[in-house]
Amino acid sequence: MPERITGRMTLDDIAKDLRARNCPIDKGNLSRLICDGIFPFGHVLSTSGTGRKNILVLSVDYYQWADERIGPYIKEVTTNA
């Protein structure tokens, strides 16, 4: 289980945490889902002339959403077959 981050989170931080929760996603899709309002924990602060978005994600908002919507981390289970 990854350590929880305090303060601001990067898209890389969030993608890593989501993968640990068995929800694989890349930064491009993560950014799009935040910008479209599907993931409510992120806020678009600005958009550059080239279309690049400046997104703010506070860890308290992300972890609250992830714990409620996805649940805790899934431990890897190995079986003897």
Report the number of distinct structural domains present in the chain: 1
Q: Is 62 helix (H, G, I), strand (E, B) or coil?
A: helix
Sequence-separated (6 or more) residues with CB below 8 Å from residue 58: 7, 8, 9, 41
Per-residue model confidence (pLDDT) at position 50: 93
Is this model's pTM higher than 0.85 or not? no
Residue 28 lies in a domain: yes
Q: Residue 15: give the domain boundaries.
A: 11-69
Per-residue model confidence (pLDDT) at position 80: 57
Residue 81 lies in a domain: no
Per-residue model confidence (pLDDT) at position 6: 83
Per-residue model confidence (pLDDT) at position 75: 58
Residue 6 lies in a domain: no
pLDDT in tens, 8-21: 999 999 999 999 88
pLDDT in tens, 19-65: 988 888 999 999 999 999 999 999 999 999 998 899 999 999 999 99
